[in-house]
């Protein structure tokens, strides 16, 4: 499931990533950086590392290539505003190709299984307690009902309800703790759980997300 994650350096947003790739058993995710309002990513990263004494593994001024170790001031935020936790992020890339990648390590098992469920499922497949389901018309209609409210996250939090949306196979609503929509999904009386951000709901109606990855209820 494609999501977009904000990347901040010194509390300033410098871009986004989709974390397209993962080394799931090692708890590592990585993806291309789409910089925003950054004239020279190479100079930004090089100057920051020099100033804050962050180790640079490689630094090629001619090709403007840089490869850093973990940058403590580099933060990644989920779509609900929560900071991604782990060992931290490092960046490598070449400005001449405008090709930079962030690698974030130390991802907890639970976070990998939930936030990055598609990577988890792709690696473990039927051996894990996740299932892969296509988004059906039943759930699309729930998403349309949610968007029809035209509420922001704070408005949803004020009226949170765990079972506001109920259909034959789905039951759920907005959770103010998670700041996302949490659902139960039933297959032959077996309950599965999944949660989605408000942005995910919009992506589903725009047919940008094709699959969900519910996990077996505990």
| Among 98, 124, 150, residue at a domain's last position | 124
Query: How far is it, in rounded angstroms, from Cα 73 to Cα 21?
Result: 23
Element (H, E) at 5: strand 5-9
Q: Is 156 helix (H, G, I), strand (E, B) or coil?
A: helix
Q: Quote the DSSP letter at residue 7.
A: E
Same domain, 21 and 102: yes
* Residue 89: closest CA among 108, 102, 107: 102
- Residue 50's domain comprises 5-112+120-124
Same domain, 108 and 11: yes
**What is the pTM assigned to this prediction?**
0.83
Same domain, 105 and 170: no
Count of structural domains, the chain: 2
| DSSP-assigned states of every residue in 73-87 | TEEEE-TTSPBP-SS
Same domain, 147 and 58: no
Same domain, 160 and 102: no
pLDDT score at 49: 98
Neighbours of 167 (CB within 10 A): 11
Same domain, 147 and 91: no
* Residue 214: closest CA among 185, 178, 172: 185
Neighbours of 136 (CB within 10 A): 11
Give me 35's structure tokens.
């910089």
Report mean pLDDT in 10-residue bins for the chain, 218 residues.
Answer: 90 97 96 96 97 97 95 94 95 90 95 92 88 94 96 94 93 93 90 92 91 89
pLDDT score at 1: 60
Query: How far is it, in rounded angstroms, from Cα 66 to Cα 35?
Result: 15
Same domain, 107 and 159: no
| Among 89, 124, 159, residue at a domain's last position | 124
Query: How far is it, in rounded angstroms, from Cα 105 to Cα 8?
Result: 16
Same domain, 11 and 99: yes
């Amino acid at each position: 499931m494609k999501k977009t994650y904000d990347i901040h350096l010194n509390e300033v947003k410098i871009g986004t990533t989709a974390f397209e790739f993962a080394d799931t058993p090692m708890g590592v995710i990585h993806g291309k950086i789409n910089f925003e309002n950054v004239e020279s990513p190479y100079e930004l990263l090089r100057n920051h590392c020099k100033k804050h004494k962050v180790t640079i593994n490689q630094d090629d001024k001619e090709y403007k290539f840089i490869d850093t170790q973990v940058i403590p001031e580099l933060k990644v935020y989920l779509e609900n505003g929560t900071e991604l936790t782990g060992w931290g992020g490092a960046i490598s890339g070449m400005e001449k190709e405008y090709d930079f990648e962030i690698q974030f390590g130390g991802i907890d098992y639970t976070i990998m299984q939930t936030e990055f469920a598609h990577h988890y499922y792709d690696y473990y497949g039927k051996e894990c307690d996740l299932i892969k389901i296509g988004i059906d018309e039943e759930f699309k209609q729930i998403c349309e009902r949610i968007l029809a409210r035209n509420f922001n996250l704070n408005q949803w939090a004020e009226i949170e309800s765990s079972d506001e949306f109920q259909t034959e196979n789905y039951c759920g609503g907005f959770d103010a703790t998670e700041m996302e929509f949490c659902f139960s999904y039933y297959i032959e009386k077996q309950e599965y759980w999944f949660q989605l951000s408000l942005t995910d709901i919009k992506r589903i109606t725009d047919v940008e997300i094709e699959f969900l990855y519910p996990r077996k209820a505990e």
